[in-house]
Amino acid sequence: MAEEHEGREQPEEQEVTASEETGEQSVQQYPHPGLETRALSRFPEAAVQPVARTVPEDPDAEVEGELFQYWSKTPGGHKWLHYFELYEEILHSLGSRPARMLEIGVFRGGSVRMWSHCLPPGSTVVGIDLDETCKQFEDAASNLHVRIGSQADPDFLKSVAEEFGPFDFILDDGSHRTDHMIDSFTHLFPEALVPGGQYLVEDTHTNYWLAYRDSAYSFVDFSKDLIDMMHAIYLDRPDERLFREEHASRLDEVRVPEIAAMLKEIRFRDSLVLFQKHRHYHLPVSRLLEE
């Protein structure tokens, strides 16, 4: 099932091997050595001592919200409970107008049903999955649709976007394979998400589990690179006056990759990365107030 990765550069510090039985690739060296050399070495000694992370009873760990209320009554559902806080934020940010949502990965239908129930009336929820049996969770009367295909197939994604998109919210809870996460994002975020839309990738902890790691370049690596991409505008323009309101040097136009202009926000949480797309693309403006 793993994709071919011809032409992709592999970082030197990670050794990628192919399993003889499956032909699938896995990264043998983990954790990433950069964790120790680049991040931990910058902290004072006390901050890097091991601690027991488990908190026996945490009153803040209570899960709240209408998505959880509905989901917890759904038979066969399976989710990490800390996801619901962000889900709830996303639900409320979508407001009261009908929304269009795409979920990659239907499984037993629990999540698509939950979103379909909780999104404002008139909303459309589309689930995609490789597994044909997921078609049974379609409920056209409730605007809940299921299409069968792979999240790694750009033609399939395009056809789903043409049929139901563009979407206000896309949730990737599919194969959790690193290259699939990247491929789906690169096809759906630019083309199938509305301006101002949100794209959530969940279970990114699987990037740290060898069984899911079908490429040395993980989705988390890719997301970190997109933080740099979000700052592309500043790369060859190291002078704040180029962006200052009413300054003679102020630039009217800057050429950057379109994806750089689209990225408004990238939020990382444990196992979750949420991207927001800009509503309008414009240059950042600085203002110098008179003394």
List active site positions: 176
Q: How far apart are CA 208 and CA 4, in angstroms?
A: 20
Query: Would you call 79 exposed, middle or buried from its count of C-beta atoms within 10 A (0-12, 13-18, 19+)?
Result: buried
Q: How far apart are CA 192 and CA 168, in angstroms?
A: 9
> Which window, 7-15, 29-37, 105-113, 138-146, contacts ligand SAM (CB under 6 A)?
105-113
- First CA to last CA distance, the chain: 63
Q: Which is nearer to ligand SAM, 44 or 76 (CB)?
A: 76
By CB under 6 A, residue 204 contacts ligand SAM: no
Query: Which residues 73-102 are close enough to bind ligand SAM by CB under 6 A?
Result: 77, 79
By CB under 6 A, residue 175 contacts ligand SAM: yes
Q: How far apart are CA 206 and CA 217, in angstroms?
A: 13
DSSP 38: I
Ramachandran area for residue 94 (φ above 0: left; ψ -120 to 50: alpha; else beta): alpha
For residue 108, give both structure tokens. Answer: 């037993």
Residue 94 C-beta: closest distance to ligand SAM, Å: 18
Q: x/- string (CB under 6 A) for ligand SAM, residues 50-69?
A: --------------------
Among 124, 150, 206, 218, binds ligand SAM (CB under 6 A): 150
> Which window, 106-114, 244-252, 268-276, 278-286, contacts ligand SAM (CB under 6 A)?
106-114
Closest-CA residue to 180 (of 116, 128, 226): 128
Q: How far apart are CA 87 and CA 200, in angstroms?
A: 9
Residues touching ligand SAM, count (CB under 6 A) = 20
Residue 197 C-beta: closest distance to ligand SAM, Å: 19
DSSP 56: S
By CB under 6 A, residue 174 contacts ligand SAM: yes
| Angle at 55 (CA atoms; ends 51, 58), nearest 5 degrees | 145
Q: Identity (one letter) of the amino acid at 244?
A: R
> Which window, 89-97, 167-175, 239-247, 271-279, contacts ligand SAM (CB under 6 A)?
167-175
Among 26, 105, 161, 178, binds ligand SAM (CB under 6 A): 105
For residue 20, give both structure tokens. Answer: 């003889």
Among 145, 180, 187, 277, binds ligand SAM (CB under 6 A): 180
Among 91, 124, 129, 261, binds ligand SAM (CB under 6 A): 129
Where along the sequence are the contacts to ligand SAM (CB under 6 A)? Answer: 77, 79, 103-107, 110-111, 128-131, 150-152, 173-175, 180
